[in-house]
């Protein structure tokens, strides 16, 4: 009887705890109305937002301190894709473009801070969430960094709240900055990227060391739940709960690029099929 009830309990929570899988076509279908794809190098495609107000990534939404650490909660229809998979980069004309990849990350950015500001830059990360770019790449272009006043960091953000592009470069914010990182304490100490929650979250979210019980986390985190598929209705929202669509993509990075090619260059796909048919015929002869 207890086993049966346990299975029922697991079945009840599965829709919001287990990540589903999807073909990259789902991402293409959602993003298609809001931007365009272009070939940025042979066989590699990137996505460009169409609306000027969406031109700067990680500027419309909020930073949440979850059980994954700092997590970006975007406020746009395609945020589940562009803000957590792959990386945003500035092209040669100074416009942001998104280059997709298969791994999900809670905050695919590098963090810095000054006395008054907190900044982040979209940055490549590996499967362990470690930054993979060298310093001369991360700090070569100050205009890639996005800055906001510390008191606004954990609040809902709009593009007007952030300093980026030429203005960020002009103000020399990156030159005046230092790494932003902190130690999260629970059953062990964990070095995490991003500003110290004690400096930006409400006091009630911080557990003081003097009163912290054994194995008790030092920060009251928001719990991250899974919505799958992306159109699934969220349950009634509760305090400190977040629901995100964050599936595992069936394709690897090369497979993602092939899906983009087939969607946006059907003539090339037809040509590839003709070449394949020719090879098959030669094999049969």
Domain residue limits, the chain: 2-284
**SS3 (DSSP) at 88:** strand
Q: Is the pLDDT of residue 13 over 60?
A: no
**pLDDT tens-digit series, residues 139-182:** 999 999 999 999 999 999 999 999 999 999 999 999 999 999 99
pLDDT of residue 21: 93
- Higher-confidence residue: 163 or 12? 163
Q: Is the pLDDT of residue 31 over 80?
A: yes
The DSSP letter of residue 242 is E
Round the average pLDDT of the chain to a whole number and report it: 89
Structure pTM? 0.86
pLDDT of residue 223: 94
**pLDDT tens-digit series, residues 184-238:** 999 999 999 999 999 999 999 999 999 999 999 999 999 999 988 878 887 887 8
Range with the poorest average pLDDT among 9-18, 32-41, 71-80, 117-126: 9-18
**Mean pLDDT on 24-36:** 94
pLDDT of residue 14: 53
Q: Is the pLDDT of residue 40 over 70?
A: yes
pLDDT of residue 6: 45
Q: From residue 247, how far is each of 13, 99, 224, 234 by CA, in Å?
A: 17, 18, 13, 16
For CA atoms 66, 67, 69, 75, give the dihedral sign.
Answer: negative
């Amino acid at each position: 009887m207890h086993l049966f009830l346990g299975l029922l309990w697991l079945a009840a929570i599965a829709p919001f705890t287990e990540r589903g899988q999807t073909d990259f076509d789902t991402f293409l279908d959602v993003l298609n109305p809001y931007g365009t794809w272009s070939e940025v190098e042979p066989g590699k495609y990137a996505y460009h937002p169409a609306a000027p107000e969406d031109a700067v990534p990680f500027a419309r939404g909020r930073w949440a301190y979850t059980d994954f650490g700092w997590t970006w909660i975007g406020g746009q229809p395609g945020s589940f894709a562009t803000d957590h998979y792959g990386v945003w980069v500035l092209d040669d004309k100074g416009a942001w473009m998104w280059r997709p990849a298969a791994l999900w990350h809670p905050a695919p950015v590098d963090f810095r801070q000054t006395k008054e500001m907190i900044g982040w830059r979209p940055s490549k990360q590996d499967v362990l969430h470690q930054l993979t770019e060298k310093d001369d790449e991360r700090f070569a272009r100050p205009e890639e960094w996005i800055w906001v006043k510390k008191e606004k960091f954990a609040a809902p953000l709009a593009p007007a709240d952030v300093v980026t592009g030429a203005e960020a470069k002009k103000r020399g914010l990156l030159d005046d900055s230092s790494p932003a990182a902190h130690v999260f304490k629970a059953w062990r100490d964990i070095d995490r990227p991003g500003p110290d929650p004690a400096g930006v979250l409400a006091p009630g979210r911080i557990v003081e060391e003097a009163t912290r019980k054994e194995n008790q986390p030092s920060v009251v985190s928001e719990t991250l739940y899974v919505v799958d598929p992306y159109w699934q209705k969220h349950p009634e929202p509760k305090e400190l709960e977040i629901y995100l669509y964050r599936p595992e993509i069936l394709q690897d990075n090369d497979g993602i690029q092939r899906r983009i090619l087939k969607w946006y260059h059907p003539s090339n796909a037809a040509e590839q099929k003709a070449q394949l048919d020719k090879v098959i015929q030669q094999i049969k002869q």
